[in-house]
Amino acid sequence: MRTAYKVRAYPTPEQAATLSRTFGCVRVVWNRTLAWRHARYHGEGVTTNFTQANAHLTAMKATDELAWLNEVSSVPLQQAIRHQQVAFTNFFAGRAKYPRYKSRTGRQSAEYTRSAFRYRDGRLFLAKMDAPLAFVWSWPDIDPATIDPTTVTISCDPDGRWYASFAVDVDDPEQAPATGRVVGVDVGVKDFAVTSDGETIANPRHLTERERNLARYQRRMARKQRGSSNRAKAKAKVARAHRKVRASRADFLHRTSARLVRDHDVIVIEDLAVANMVRNRSLAKAISDCGWGAFRRMLEYKAAKHGRHLIVIDRWYPSSKTCSACGHLLAELSLGTRTWQCPSCGTRHDRDVNAAKNILAAGLAVSACGGDVRHSGSSRVRSPVKQELQPARAGVPVPQGGE
């Protein structure tokens, strides 16, 4: 499997200028190639493969108008073409949206393969640079001189921070010792997550905590004249405020996901359609602030890295409306109802704890009937869940597994 180490980078002014030129060239190549693909498809009705796109890049570099593309390393430009080809492949497969044009105001990045960088004894030399790029290593238990990166991605955030990301192939992932514990996790807005063990993980609401401060910086930026130096400084402050929110959220998600993976052999979650849920204008900001999509991705790669079992159940399974004690299914259950009593067996349920217990039972049922529980898409897990959980909807108790 592949892992990555992202570190803070500190380029010299000369290196920053070279990297900025590289970012600009990557952006121009991406945008012009995307426009060429679009016009070719709609004008001639033909699609473009990687070889044709790469030949178009060569033709662009041969023109007088874009001759300055030859001033930077050719590898990041070729990687931009490669990434665009992957983006179109995902689009036609229905896994992603149509590729968008790159903006000069957002995060800028360039990827270098082994032919465009040299990494020796913990020192990184990039193409078109004579001096090594300084960076700060953040893993005290890993010697930076021992890693063998396959690609290096240099990026710069809108707030001016530079980063270097080292992609490393790992032959033998670290296997965590077995704990014998299983858990179902129900995520929400009021509480970030509730487990089948009854544990409640509070929602820190990172954006809400800093919203007033962020709004003040945005108002100050709005008063500045467009294109002025003062507006650029105010914009950098807005970017730094957003970065603090993003960093706090990422830290919370990493800690929570790492603890769940460390303490449990099997973790069961729901396949939530976050993109559809944020269309609710009343809850869009609160849902986005939770970071459910990032949380799931962290659980997926950490479970794979440490030998854990992550199960994703069907998003349509009525986990909140089903009694975890007897399997009775309510006809309706409003979002405002936090506790309810089962009319069949009389058990009183906390809405979220009951849902987490049902999620765990559904996940164990998926595993028992051989579903593709490792796949992140809902279409791969829906059929096994429905086969195993039909008796519960008819009033037959769901097997509780480790309960």
Query: How many of the other CB atoms lie within 10 Å of CB of 328?
Result: 18
Q: Which of 111, 300, 314, 352 is catalytic?
A: 352
87-116 tens-digit pLDDT: 999 999 998 999 999 999 889 999 999 999
Is 372 annotated as catalytic? Answer: no
In 3D space, the residue among 392, 315, 340 whose CA is nearest the CA of residue 361 turns out to be: 392
Predicted confidence at residue 278, as pLDDT, reads: 86
pLDDT band at 369 (very low <50, low <70, confident <90, very high): low
pLDDT of 402 higher than 80: no
Tokens coding 123 = 């020192």
Q: What's the whole-number mean pLDDT along residues 125-131?
A: 94
In 3D space, the residue among 328, 324, 352, 329 whose CA is nearest the CA of residue 339 turns out to be: 352
Tokens coding 202 = 């509070």
Predicted confidence at residue 173, as pLDDT, reads: 67
**Maximum pairwise Cα distance, the chain:** 80
Tokens coding 353 = 């704890």
Mean pLDDT over the full length of the chain: 88
Structure-model confidence comparison of residues 279 and 65, the more confident one: 65
Structure-model confidence comparison of residues 398 and 363, the more confident one: 363
pLDDT of 393 higher than 50: no
Proportion of the chain above pLDDT 70, given as a percent: 90
pLDDT of 197 higher than 60: yes
Predicted confidence at residue 388, as pLDDT, reads: 36
Q: ∠ CA(372), CA(375), CA(378), 5° rounding?
A: 90
143-187 tens-digit pLDDT: 999 999 999 999 999 999 999 999 999 876 678 889 999 999 999
Least confident of 150-154, 327-331, 390-394: 390-394
- The span from the CA of 323 to the CA of 397, in Å, is 9
pLDDT of 354 higher than 80: yes
Q: Which of 111, 270, 300, 388 is catalytic?
A: 270
293-305 tens-digit pLDDT: 999 999 999 998 8
Predicted confidence at residue 368, as pLDDT, reads: 60
Predicted confidence at residue 366, as pLDDT, reads: 75
Tokens coding 312 = 């994703």
Q: Concatenated DSSP letters for 171-197?
A: SSPPPPPP---EEEEEE-SSEEEEETT
Whole-angstrom Cα Rg for the chain? 25
Indicate the pairing of strand 134-136 with strand 2-10: antiparallel
Q: What's the whole-number mean pLDDT along residues 357-381?
A: 62
Is 186 annotated as catalytic? Answer: yes
Q: ∠ CA(248), CA(97), CA(38), 5° rounding?
A: 130
Is 209 annotated as catalytic? Answer: no
